[in-house]
Amino acid sequence: MTAAVTERPGRAPAFCYRALGKRALGESDAVLHCDQVPLSRLAERFGTPLYVYSASTIRERLRAFDQAFDPAPHTVCYSVKANSNLSILRLLTREGCGFDVVSGGELERVLRVDRRAAGKVVFSGVGKTSVEIGMALQAGILLFNVESQSELQVLGECAARLKKTARMALRVNPDVPADTHPYISTGLHQHKFGIPIEQARALYRQAAKHKSLKVSGVSVHIGSQIADVTPFSATMERVADLVRALRIDGHTVDYVDAGGGLGIPYEGDGQSDFAACARKYARALLGPLRGLRVHLLLEPGRSIVGPAGTLLTRVLYRKTNGHKRFLVVDAAMNDLIRPSLYKAHHEIVPVRAHAASAKETVDVVGPICETGDFFARDRELPLAEEGDLLAILDAGAYGMVLASNYNTRPRPAEILVDGDSTKLIRRRETLTDLMGPEAPRSRRA
């Protein structure tokens, strides 16, 4: 059991160091906890690599985000692609959350958690198939965000065939630049997403002529991991102008889907007032929409679950090549690809922090046979020995959902911590799981 503890600021709000025993921090070692649970205990019980999430943090951040938009009618539609674990979706459903999905598989996840949640689902994405569209129509989702003229035609045909009415919005491309990684910027004319905003009125006229389509809103999304709210405000100015023009044209515009994209701090101690950030974001969106009387749809993902998760990994080997020092850990790019894919920064901290630990500059790398398999390069970290546990922070979003089985590596288990309780929400894969679909079935002669 953890004795009386003394907390030291670590990773707000879920991850912090606590002294084990009666002595104060600085006099003894401290162990990184998720809520009230030592991460070392979880590693011993469930092994590593291991994803650990804080349920309390997810709830707190969702509530702070939701409250920031209290001045206006709105629905928070969590972006399932950020982290699609069924237990996390169930947690969000209990908080009254809606969902933004980009595939039939993500929709199925929502329906398995609660079929009634379909009424708060928006379906985005540039490549919806007719099967996926039919599935969504049968489920009775709130809104289709249409991204091309061809998709509009397919949606109308599917709805007519099923004798359904499809509520739709066009996802418009406002050509607003955002300061983020080019792979996750989506609001410029050279990106595959959306319809040029200057072409929207003509396509809305086309949609209005189809008996099985109901024009219901305007949708926009300019990218992900955006820290400056200025592009959001500029985008809403253009959307507001379009809404006014569409109403002049005779369309009913009930919804504005503002997308997501609000970033989180990955570097440093992560100490930021998320409620204040959410209020600033809300002001940027709501200001241009004032007086339009629309229902705002919001699609946060990373900002809700990113800081709520960590990836635990164990040091396998220390290695030196000339002047370079390496920590070879048991997690790899197949478990968390963001550093390799985006050159993304994740803070890495020891699970057990020593009072007066020396520091060294190292590369933290995984076992995969790729030079790009790394979590940090030339990073100054406390001295770590073989067998020590490290925590890769802010891994709650775009971690497990992007994981793969490259090098025939089973994906990690996932744990949800709520206060002092823990729940295995996804077991670790086995080699049998990986090779099962390939195994030939026995045939009788």
Q: Known catalytic residue: 369?
A: yes
- The residue written with tokens 């739709």 in the block is 168
Report the C-alpha dihedral over residues 393, 399, 404, 405, rounded to 10 degrees: 30
Closest by CA to 220, choosing from 200, 236, 203, 204, is 236
Please give the structure tokens belonging to residue 132. Answer: 């996926």
Other C-beta atoms closer than 10 Å to the C-beta of 116 total 10
**Alpha helices by DSSP H, 318-425:** 338-342
Identity at 78, one-letter amino acid code: Y
Identity at 147, one-letter amino acid code: E
Q: How many CA atoms lie within 13 A of 329 on its CB side?
A: 30
Closest by CA to 397, choosing from 303, 276, 279, 261, is 303
Active-site entry in 34, 158, 277, 369:
369
Closest by CA to 146, choosing from 132, 165, 127, is 127
Burial class (CB in 10 A: 0-12, 13-18, 19+), 44: exposed
Q: With contact defined as beta carbons under 8 Å apart, do 14 and 34 qualify?
A: yes
Q: Rounded distance, CA 391 to CA 312, Å?
A: 5
Q: Write out the catalytic residue numbers.
A: 369
